[in-house]
């Protein structure tokens, strides 16, 4: 018995010593610094944004289809009925929730790159505006951060102006994703939706349109600044019909966030991309960024590169119900000149050289 008691005492002493050693080792490990915690929060903020835009719509659709064949079939049926009833809402002002613009997560999102908004001229609340956003890049990070979130201070820089951002109309046909987009202040890039914002919501509205669209994303790569704009004149016609001033904006650094495999014009892969673009509204791009665990690994997250969005001088536009082609061409030319001026005056301030040029196709 004494032998057993002695053995147990020895084991308990050994266990106690092991626990103490483990605690000392744990306490010796340095705690994460404030900077480390901040970097982790920034990475998570970008991760949730990328996953939301790439997967939320598809995953929600597949989930609702799956639920149709379970005992919870009533949920997708009721939601489908709601979508049918609510079908026109995205083109009639949506359901913007201002509180979402003030989410702390968007400040971490902004600081990851970081994203900065620069004002060059005032915008009067007595007018409406169409802001041309350039370039498209892969995921339009600059446009989203500046015109949808309040993290870069758009409302403070332009008091009395409410900013909106347009995106592909097909996104608003995806369940749940449509609610997510509308709550943030995104709208379909359709004449009806843009016309509603410029005519039914008073003045002081600024509708941002990424004019180059899917076609421009195919040419997105670091060191190349090519815009699809020469034959994009619908936004000018809309501006004339509603008397909305045209405002150029350029996001320096947008094309540096991802690396893309660019296929040459005339190649079979390029033709496939063009075909998809015509069918579904966007072009499938082969791109990569950094990984989740290391900036040296490859993944789907954007690289941390600074983005500076400069908002230029507004071009005054008269209200003409049925503008002629000559009038549209005239103001389209004025807009391009204002954009080139904006680019050339700011390129050396935000990472480009004096020799860099803006190519407009």
* Rounded mean pLDDT, 58-64: 94
Chain center to CA of 322: 33
pLDDT at 5 (0 to 100): 43
Write the CA distances from 301 to 50, 110, 120, 168, 312, integer angstroms. Answer: 7, 14, 31, 22, 29
Sheet containing 287-290: order of strands: 259-260, 287-290, 298-299
- 296-336 residue pLDDT tens: 888 889 999 999 999 999 999 999 999 999 999 999 999 99
Measured in whole angstroms, how far is the alpha carbon of residue 64 from the centre of its chain? Answer: 26
For the cut 70, the answer to whether the pLDDT of residue 222 exceeds it is no
**Rounded distance, CA 193 to CA 172, Å?**
12
Mean predicted lDDT score pLDDT of the chain: 87
Taking the model in full, what pTM does it have?
0.86
In Å, how far from its chain's centre is CA 150?
13
Domain ranges of the chain: 34-360
- For range 34-48, the mean pLDDT: 90
pLDDT at position 2 is 43
What pLDDT is stored for residue 36 in this prediction? Answer: 79
Residue pLDDT, tens place only, 107-132? 999 999 999 999 999 999 999 999 99
Compute the distance between CA of residue 358 and CA of residue 224 in angstroms, rounded to an integer: 9
pLDDT for the residue 297: 83
164-174 per-position pLDDT tens digit:
999 988 899 99
């Amino acid at each position: 018995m004494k032998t057993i008691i002695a053995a147990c005492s020895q084991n308990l002493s050994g266990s106690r010593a092991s626990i103490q050693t483990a605690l000392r080792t744990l306490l010796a490990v340095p705690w994460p610094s404030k900077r480390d915690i901040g970097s982790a929060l920034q990475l998570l903020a970008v991760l949730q944004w990328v996953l939301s835009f790439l997967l939320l719509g598809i995953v929600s659709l597949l989930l609702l289809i799956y639920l149709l064949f379970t005992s919870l079939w009533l949920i997708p049926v009721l939601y489908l009925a709601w979508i049918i009833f609510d079908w026109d809402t995205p083109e009639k002002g949506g359901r913007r929730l201002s509180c979402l613009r003030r989410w702390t997560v968007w400040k971490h999102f902004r600081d990851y790159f970081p994203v900065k908004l620069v004002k060059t001229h005032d915008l009067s609340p007595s007018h409406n505006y169409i802001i041309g956003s350039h370039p498209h890049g892969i995921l339009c990070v600059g446009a989203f951060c500046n015109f949808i979130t309040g993290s870069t201070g758009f409302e403070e820089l332009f008091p009395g102006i409410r900013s909106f951002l347009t995106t592909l109309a097909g996104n608003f046909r995806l369940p749940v994703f449509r609610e997510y987009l509308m709550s943030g202040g995104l709208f379909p890039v359709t004449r009806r939706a843009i016309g509603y914002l410029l005519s039914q919501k008073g003045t002081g509205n600024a509708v941002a349109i990424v004019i180059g669209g899917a076609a421009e994303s195919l040419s997105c790569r670091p060191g190349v600044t090519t815009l699809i704009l020469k034959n994009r004149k619908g936004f000018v016609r809309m501006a004339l019909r509603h008397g909305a001033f045209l405002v150029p904006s350029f996001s320096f650094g947008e094309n540096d966030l991802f690396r893309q495999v660019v296929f040459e014009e005339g190649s079979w892969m390029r033709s496939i991309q063009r075909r998809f673009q015509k069918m579904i509204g966007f072009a499938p791009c082969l791109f990569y960024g950094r990984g989740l665990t290391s900036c040296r690994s490859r993944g789907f997250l954007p690289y941390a590169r600074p983005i500076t969005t400069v908002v230029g001088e507004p071009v005054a536009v008269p209200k003409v119900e049925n503008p002629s082609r000559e009038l549209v061409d005239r103001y389209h030319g004025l807009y391009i000149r204002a954009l080139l001026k904006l680019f050339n005056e700011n390129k050396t301030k935000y990472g480009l050289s004096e020799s860099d040029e803006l190519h407009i196709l």
